Amino acid sequence: MEPVKRYAEFCFQLRQQNQAADDFPADLPILDLKTAYAVQDALVAKLAAAHQTHLVGYKIGCTSQGAQRLLNTSGPVFGRLFARSSYNSPAALSTADFSMVVIEPEFAFEIKHDVPTGRYDAGSIRPFIATVIPSIEIVHHHLGGWDRFDAPKTVADNAIHAAWIGGQPIAEWDDVDWLTHEVNLFVNDQLVESGRGEIVLGSPLNALAWIANTLPEYGRQLKTGEIVTTGVCMNVYTAQPGETIRADFGRLGQVILKLS
């Protein structure tokens, strides 16, 4: 079996069985980023077929310095969002379905129009935004530790995406100050973390522009109606069974997740 298929099968089996391995098999060649996205494509296709689901958009990871340090990367990466593992707030999920429940409050966007190939920045990407969605991404991994990862390994396992929970979409967002907009994370009504939009590549709009610029390198583009979640805007939080998680985005709304 060729390396791309072997990598994809390895990740697929760990996800299906919710098991952990110390690292990727040592006899596989070292991944470069281009090959890692080919592995991701193969893995995503296997997961979509196995769970009879479809893709609804993209996740961007490693957009904060903390996430980059955790996963030994120097810049953003992307993965795919599935309908099957995307939920509306309030959501109730079981921790048994995940290898760990790492909570990441994130600004997400719904795409208004197909985004043509071009070079975008925080200003020029704005006309392509339909709504802003306060959200939580759950990430998890199936290797022996965070130190096993680098950018290609993260990409290969669909950017270690597990689930996404979205709040109420907001159409009136034009005057949001993305750099200073604050987000607070509560666990059982106790404040545990706070963050701001500037933690996400200086602005969540910078992250959205990044993926619009990057996808054409892989033969893709952002499409009408797709969701893009832009990466954690604070320190991550590892949740436990029985906790109620609430991410408060102020005027942009909140997201609630109850864990059993």
pLDDT at 72: 83
Average pLDDT value over all residues in the chain: 95
Give per-residue pLDDT as tens, 111-122. Answer: 999 999 999 999
**Beta partners for 27?**
none
Residues in Cβ contact with 198 at an 8 Å cutoff, skipping those fewer than 6 apart: 178, 179, 180
- Bigger pLDDT: 166 vs 144: 166
pLDDT at position 128 over 90: yes
- For residue range 81-127, list pLDDT tens digits in order: 999 999 999 999 999 999 999 999 999 999 999 999 999 999 999 99
Among the listed residues 30, 14, 52, 1, the one whose alpha carbon sits nearest the alpha carbon of residue 157: 14
User: Do residues 101 and 216 lie in contact, with contact meaning Cβ atoms separated by under 8 Å?
Assistant: no
pLDDT at 32: 93
Domains of the chain with bracketed CATH: 56-147+158-259 (3.90.850.10)
Residue 238 has pLDDT above 90, yes or no: yes
* Residue 197: band (very low, low, confident or very high) from pLDDT cuts 50, 70, 90: very high
Q: What percent of the chain is predicted at pLDDT more than 90?
A: 87
Bigger pLDDT: 178 vs 65: 178
Q: What is the pLDDT of residue 1?
A: 59
| Interacting residues of 80 by C-beta distance below 8 A, sequence separation 6+ | 40, 44, 55, 57, 58, 59, 158, 161
**Percentage of residues in the chain having pLDDT higher than 70:** 100
Contact between 217 and 117 under an 8 Å Cβ cutoff? The reply is no
At residue 240, does pLDDT exceed 80? Answer: yes
> Beta 86-88 vs 161-166: how paired, if at all?
parallel
pLDDT given at position 20: 87
pLDDT at 135 over 90: yes
Average pLDDT of the residues in 169-196: 96
Confidence at 54, pLDDT banded by 50, 70, 90: very high
| pLDDT confidence of residue 232 | 96
What is the reported pLDDT for 117? 95
